[in-house]
Amino acid sequence: MLRGDPLQTVAELKAREGRELQIHGSARLGKSLLGAGLVDVVRLVVAPTVIGSGRRLLDHPVGLRLVEHEATSKGLLLLQYETTGEAPVGEYEGVGAIG
């Protein structure tokens, strides 16, 4: 459990020598830490299921670089990204516009 301001507490913990810090299952804390630039690695598990709606993972663009990936026999994708700072934002014209 984090006491006090979570961003300040995590920044202080990151500055110490020792093991890595991990967040499991707290989208709100993850968003805050990503926005503050306190996340070095994002690990995602993507299930082969489409639900049509849900909570957004990020509130603003964050640059990510894929550094590791694996597909399990059940179709899960295990993805590991390093953060690269703020992501450039562009427009997508759709597949028909390519060519």
CA 86 to chain centre: 12
Instruction: Give 77's strand partners.
Output: 46, 71
Q: Tell me the domain boundaries of the chain.
A: 6-86
| Band (76; pLDDT cuts 50, 70, 90) | very high
C-alpha span between 80 and 66 (Å, rounded) = 6
Residue scoring higher pLDDT (58 or 72): 72
Q: Max alpha carbon distance in the chain (Å)?
A: 54
pLDDT reading at 56 higher than 80? no
pLDDT at 96: 73
Q: What average pLDDT does the segment 22-35 reach?
A: 85
Q: At what angle do helices 27-35 and 6-15 cross, to 10 degrees?
A: 70
pLDDT reading at 33 higher than 80? yes
pLDDT at 84: 92
C-alpha span between 98 and 42 (Å, rounded) = 30
Instruction: For strands 63-71 and 41-46, give the pairing.
Output: unpaired
Structural class in CATH, domain 6-86: alpha beta
Single-letter code of the amino acid located at 60: H
pLDDT winner (highest mean) among 41-50, 73-82, 88-97? 73-82
Q: What is the pLDDT of residues 11-26, one digit of tens each?
A: 998 899 888 888 887 8
pLDDT at 51: 83
CA 4 to chain centre: 23
